[in-house]
Amino acid sequence: MKLKKGTEIVVKIDSLVYGGRGIGSHEGMKVFVEDVVPGDTVKASLSRIKNNYAEAKLVELIEKSPQRIEPKCKHFGVCGGCKWQFLSYEDQCKVKEDQVRDAIVKIGHLDGALVQPIIPNETPWFYRNKMEVSFDTQNRLGLYPKGFHYEVFDMEECFLQSELMVEIVGKMREFQKKYKIPAYDSETHEGLLRNLIIREGKNTGECMVILVTSTGIFDHKNEFITLFKDDPRITSLYWTTVYQVPGQPTHTEEALLHGKPALTEILHLENGQKLEFDILPKAFFQTNTKQAEKLYSKVIELAGLTGDETVLDLYCGTGTIGLFCAHKAKEIVGIEENEQAVESARGNATKNGITNATFYLGRVEHRLSDLQHKPDVVIVDPPRIGLGEEVVNAVAAFGAKKVVYVSCNPSTLARDLAYFAGLGYFCESVTPVDMFPQTHHVESVAVVVRG
Ligand SMILES: C[S@@+](CC[C@H](N)C(=O)[O-])C[C@H]1O[C@@H](n2cnc3c(N)ncnc32)[C@H](O)[C@@H]1O
């Protein structure tokens, strides 16, 4: 039968590939299907056909895999969030570890034995310390269903965030309805309410609530303040306005309406170290606090500092990794492009009595060439696009003895490890760390050493 778009085929799913899709074979051709687990036999409708692979949409589950479990959340299937709830946590970890190994072998052309056992979460639920929900023009407040960008569903429960976060979302939904405040419509550019961001200090119990609006008049600002100001759990209340003029870059302005400017969090590492971090509303902070403690513990262990080293902390965010290295290094130099993160990093050094750390604002790719410091160890933690050849070249040009690479994308990590290998830096280990249970995302920490 000639295969064309819309043709329905029966396919047995062999495994899950990076990105979360299942893969199986049909008449010798690889077929990718979403929303399936290994061992499922499904009827799927072809949506895209290429020379050596095809993509298909799930039509019917013909035979359930024994690996399938009942999802916990009532929004499962609609929500674009945690799509892996139908796999046990143990199976999720196994799949993630295999995916990292697969990337290391196929893309990085390295030995799969370098990949260490994944570091799992003690509790794979309620781990998120940051949540962003959106308002839509139908008076709903929640997350986007899979594939939607304008309409959200009313999020009534979520097992990735705390009860307090869900409670705040419910309160804001009632607030919008009570005062009939129109949501911002991104097509007409009318309306006011855009998003609600909630950040939590899991170890301090602090909570920051940020209401994001368009530039329209916010008549009910006082009522918004009243809604939260007497709640001792809410330690910061912000109102952020988005200024959007067609043809010009969007910019935002924040007003602190109540409480303190930053959210404070404390991290405890396995080596007994403990530091306190102030996080400004726009600054990056690892979303899974408990697992960030494990991730950073691993990074510090792998960096193997003795006290004499100059350490470069690239893509340093609020300075977390560099500051944990500070007491075991001669000096720390951080580079980060987000202004609030750099401000937070500098403040965090002072707050923790650290005097050997300097943080520079700027893009890594622009700042490296004129850096006066000569690093012994370089720690990098780039976004999903990874370092790329240019930054790998610039890092290797320092001649540091070791690079510790924290990555949220196994494909770009594997690509960059291959670049490092070409420059005489050899990979010693890659440790997957599960920062995002119930999703397909996986973090890894790799070490490369010179010569
Ligand atoms: C994955 S986060 C890591 C932050 C930090 N290491 C941590 O664990 O909290 C990546 C950081 O890189 C920053 N960033 C992204 N692209 C950058 C670039 N080209 N140059 C400098 N910083 C960048 C982001 O603002 C973000 O803070």
In a domain, 224, yes or no: yes
Provide the pLDDT for residue 25.
Answer: 93
β-pair partners for 310? 331
Provide the pLDDT for residue 252.
Answer: 94
Provide the pLDDT for residue 1.
Answer: 64
Provide the pLDDT for residue 149.
Answer: 79
Give yes or no: residues 116 and 139 share one domain. no
**Which distant-in-sequence residues (6+ apart) come within 8 Å of 236 by Cβ?**
206, 207, 208, 209, 256, 258, 259, 260, 261, 262, 263, 281
User: Closest Cα to residue 430, out of 99, 188, 144, 148?
Assistant: 99
Give yes or no: residues 118 and 135 share one domain. no
CATH number of the structural domain spanning residue 57 = 2.40.50.140
In a domain, 205, yes or no: yes
**Which distant-in-sequence residues (6+ apart) come within 8 Å of 264 by Cβ?**
201, 204, 206, 235, 276, 277, 278, 279
Give yes or no: residues 432 and 311 share one domain. yes
Provide the pLDDT for residue 119.
Answer: 98
In a domain, 362, yes or no: yes
Give yes or no: residues 111 and 175 share one domain. no
Return the structure tokens found at 316: 């340093």
Domain ranges, residue 235: 130-263
Give yes or no: residues 217 and 347 share one domain. no
Q: Are strands 377-380 and 310-314 parallel, antiparallel or unpaired?
A: parallel
CB 45 within 8 A of CB 129: no
Provide the pLDDT for residue 216.
Answer: 85
Give yes or no: residues 117 and 146 share one domain. no
Query: Rounded distance, CA 113 to CA 100, Å?
Result: 11
CB 98 within 8 A of CB 15: yes
In a domain, 79, yes or no: no
H-run or E-run covering 405: strand 402-407
CATH number of the structural domain spanning residue 302 = 3.40.50.150
Q: Is the CB of 314 within 6 Å of ligand 1? A: no
β-pair partners for 26? 29
What's the pTM value of the predicted model, to 2 decimals?
0.92
Return the structure tokens found at 178: 């009570």
Give yes or no: residues 293 and 438 share one domain. yes
pLDDT along the chain (451 residues), means of 10: 85 89 91 93 93 92 93 90 92 96 97 98 96 93 86 92 96 95 91 97 98 94 96 97 87 96 96 94 94 97 97 96 96 96 95 97 94 95 97 96 98 98 97 96 97 87
CATH number of the structural domain spanning residue 245 = 2.40.50.1070
Q: Which atom of ligand 1 is nearest to the CA of 382?
A: 10
Provide the pLDDT for residue 186.
Answer: 85
In a domain, 45, yes or no: yes
Give yes or no: residues 141 and 103 share one domain. no
Provide the pLDDT for residue 96.
Answer: 96
* Strands in 165-281 per DSSP E: 193-200, 207-213, 236-243, 251-259, 263-268, 274-279
CA 450 / ligand 1 centre spacing (Å): 24
Query: Rounded distance, CA 409 to CA 105, Å?
Result: 15
Give yes or no: residues 114 and 144 share one domain. no
Give yes or no: residues 218 and 351 share one domain. no
Is 325 among the catalytic positions? no
Q: Is the CB of 342 within 6 Å of ligand 1? A: no
Q: How many domains does the chain have?
A: 3
Return the structure tokens found at 206: 């602090």
Give yes or no: residues 345 and 429 share one domain. yes
In a domain, 277, yes or no: no
Give yes or no: residues 322 and 442 share one domain. yes
Which residue's CA is minimally distant from atom 15 of ligand 1? 383
CB 169 within 8 A of CB 133: yes
CA 364 / ligand 1 centre spacing (Å): 9
In a domain, 432, yes or no: yes
- For tokens 């622009």, the residue is 366
CA 318 / ligand 1 centre spacing (Å): 9
Which residue's CA is minimally distant from atom 6 of ligand 1? 316
Q: Are strands 29-33 and 22-26 parallel, antiparallel or unpaired?
A: antiparallel
Which residue's CA is minimally distant from atom 25 of ligand 1? 338
Q: Are strands 274-279 and 402-407 parallel, antiparallel or unpaired?
A: unpaired
In a domain, 179, yes or no: yes
CA 381 / ligand 1 centre spacing (Å): 6
Catalytic residue among 93, 207, 408, 427: 408
